[in-house]
Amino acid sequence: MRNFDLSPLYRSSIGFDRMANILDSLTATEQNQPSYPPYNIELTGEDKYRITMAVAGFAEAELGIEVEENKLTIAGKKEAAKEEKTYLHQGIAARNFERRFQLADHVRVEHAHMENGLLHIDLRREIPEAMKPRSIAISNSGLLES
């Protein structure tokens, strides 16, 4: 991926610094982000999303989900094996992981559940009433007097 110089954006705009910081952090973490565990991001309805992550071998108690300032972090900490095993082939990865997602404004996590080795996290974008479009009535009475 290319590196972008966002310094002109910082010099010539006001109020977009948060967006520039997000772009900076995305380009920096994209190169360092591991591919384990695999995941999908789905659009499940208008303003509804689902992250599905393959976490086979992890118990619910070994997984953690945290949201802080528009950052969703999903972590898996595998407990140490109580007995030593000798594998002839070990193809199931059960290593610790931490995956981070940047959430847009007004996106909140509704709930999470596990099913068949998949962790499902449902999200919803809820736009506040003050930010929704509204109609303005036009009156025939002329100019308002002060």
> In 3-state terms, what secondary structure has residue 47?
coil
Residue 31 is predicted with a pLDDT of 55
Structural domain boundaries in the chain: 1-33, 35-130
**For residue 63, what are the CA distances in angstroms to 75, 116, 131?**
6, 15, 35
| 35-130: CATH architecture | Sandwich (2.60)
- What average pLDDT score do residues 69-94 get? 86
Whether pLDDT at 68 is above 90: yes
Burial class (CB in 10 A: 0-12, 13-18, 19+), 117: exposed
Q: Do 120 and 51 form a contact (C-beta atoms < 8 A)?
A: yes
Q: What is the pTM of this model?
A: 0.69
- What average pLDDT score do residues 126-137 get? 82
